[in-house]
Structure 1
């Protein structure tokens, strides 16, 4: 049974070049891996692509026209090991991911694996650079000039002419996001600026200070026909309430109860997104929004904004560091509200509203 989006067509899979992609990681990392799908279909014209990931990322890959089958590691790992593939692409260093990649049946394998000593290794020489990035801090933090997409294309032995993210946001979610913004007073003539306040539970060092969001909101409030909305997930519920309160509701708290696709629908209806290196940033990239991306503990070079955004990076000596915790996140504190405001004004000047 071959699945294209919601359409299921009976086919003899023996006639197809079968590819299994194993990519777990954070949902944003999964989303930024999707450009490879189009390149695989161009190189292997009659291919069948299955993608194995965590359940948390499935929603972002659902109805993707270039994925034939979605497999959840939570309940479909055995199925992935039973099927025989022509090619396996292993893009994740997660122990479960590399264990499955090593056990899976495929004629050709690319990317990360477990070697006979139980250590992280690679299937092919072209993946050595990606392996080195994980163990060489100097290379990771300052020596690397390749984007994430260039790295996985090299691992897959594909030409590096990668395209955009492939993310299918259906019309229902687009309309849902529009209704949410209208409910909170947004009008077609407004320039809507989404401030994404969080960074998830793991990478707390990516968070921009609450006081900076408050200061930025007060600056933006002086601009004509500009509306500010607060974005975030469940972890940002308290933060967004504080920011909204301190700005006397100028920064509109939309709530944090949305699914990933509903959240994407809201992002899609914003004009400009201010965000750290998070899932929101990757959704905004996928939707080709104007983005101001703030980089402190993570490396900006790996991120491609596809010409529709501006990166603002910390320049302090200890950044990037990829630390999950820090007693004083100087890197994010060094990115001042006035520098973000300046970039927003440049974007606004491009709109004719």
Structure 2
């Protein structure tokens, strides 16, 4: 055990040790390294680089379950752009991508490094941080583009750069991430915080009927996913008539639409909230209807029956873990991964409300 000049022993190899502030065992129980009963020596130092967006970070968390199983005495560090979305406790150290974090990581050594992003800054970090074993993406040394770090990354890399191969892919995203990291996927669930301990007051929510959250937006990048107000109104009426309680969900971009839908149908709409509170609001639902967007990832992470409305993405990409259904337009989509429709009118208008309603009824009993 290392000792300082005054003879005091310290354990810098302990998972609890912080180095700049007291560790939790010291803070809560007064333990010191020399006689600490919860000393937890680190056997593997693991770094995950997964920067964003939020949904991609959420759907990478199943990897944590396998890492804790395979390396129970490891210290896991995760570098991201959205640290607040990651669950506390399972990850030992969460770092936000900034200059101090980069300088810090470049002076450390890891046993295993996973770079799961093809962003150039993520690939550059993969190359500049010392690690015995590395998985994921690197920078091509001559051309400065993302490149597979080894053969395990080839499949996921190629489906990301050629539409034809992406269309042929039949592996869900989570399976691809596991295989890229050297594991077989065994159905590991997401690791996620419901924020139930925050004490949010949801007295305005309807009671006595199954609540079906309707996430009406899809972000501003892939607007080909949008469904019209008329379709939402029809679905809401069908749900209400069948004994469900529709609850409109969304952020600032969906506020105006949700207010219109509330006025037209009487569906519940509580407004917009910070992300942790929004997550907990979704946790109050019995089922979720959503397009491919952040709310979809949250719904899957919360283990809610999810009715996923999809048109422009490969349906094999999504794993609903046996909860809910994926529904698509009756007309085949010709705008794979396109933000605007080549035909002028999105095929989402060929997704009948009745089809979505039947999927809800099959997923959530009244």
Q: TM-score range by the shorter chain?
A: 0.7 to 0.9
Distance, in Å, in 2 between the alignment partners of 1:14 and 1:99 is 30
1:114 aligns with 2:139: yes
Give the match's secondary structure for 2:235: helix
Give the match's secondary structure for 1:52: strand
Aligned to 1:140: 166
Aligned to 2:98: 74
Superposed, 1:158-169 pairs within 5 Å as 158-169=183-194
Distance, in Å, in 2 between the alignment partners of 1:340 and 1:170 is 29
CA contact (8 A) 1:25 1:94 kept: no
Give the match's secondary structure for 2:189: coil
Aligned to 2:304: 289
2:76 maps to which of 32, 44, 49: 49
Structure 1 runs (4+) deviating above 4 angstroms are 9-14
1:219 aligns with 2:245: no
Q: 1:78-104, CA deviations, whole angstroms, 9 ceiling, x for partnerless residues?
A: 222222111110111112221222212
Distance, in Å, in 1 between the alignment partners of 2:326 and 2:334 is 14
Aligned to 1:238: 256
Give the match's secondary structure for 1:212: helix
Give the match's secondary structure for 1:138: helix
Q: What is the deviation of 1:330?
A: 2.5
- Between Structure 1 and Structure 2, whose CA radius of gyration is higher? 2
Superposed, 1:1-353 pairs within 5 Å as 2=15, 8=24, 15-54=42-81, 57-63=82-88, 65-74=89-98, 76-117=101-142, 118-141=144-167, 143-173=168-198, 175-176=199-200, 179-180=201-202, 182-184=203-205, 186-187=206-207, 189-224=208-243, 226-247=244-265, 250-256=266-272, 258-314=273-329, 316-319=331-334, 321-326=336-341, 328-348=344-364, 350-351=365-366
Q: 1:98-151, CA deviations, whole angstroms, 9 ceiling, x for partnerless residues?
A: 12222121111111110211122111111101111112211212x111111111
CA contact (8 A) 1:102 1:113 kept: yes
* Greater strand content: 1
- Per the normalisation by structure 2, the TM-score is 0.85
Choose 93-102 or 191-200, whichever is displaced more: 93-102
Kindly tell me the number of residue pairs found equivalent between the two proteins: 334
- Quote the RMSD (CA, aligned, Å): 2.2
Larger RCO: 1 or 2 (CA < 8 Å, sep 6+): 1
Unaligned runs of 5+ in 2: 1-11, 18-22, 27-32, 34-38
CA contact (8 A) 2:335 2:341 kept: no
- Per the normalisation by structure 1, the TM-score is 0.88
CA contact (8 A) 1:71 1:77 kept: no
Distance, in Å, in 1 between the alignment partners of 2:73 and 2:130 is 20
Q: What is the deviation of 1:14?
A: 7.5
Give the match's secondary structure for 1:183: coil
Unaligned runs of 5+ in 1: none
- CA 1:269–1:107 in 2, change beyond 3 Å: closer, same or farther? same
Choose 323-332 or 42-51, whichever is displaced more: 323-332
Distance, in Å, in 2 between the alignment partners of 1:270 and 1:14 is 41
CA contact (8 A) 1:3 1:69 kept: no
Distance, in Å, in 2 between the alignment partners of 1:315 and 1:302 is 19
CA contact (8 A) 2:229 2:261 kept: yes
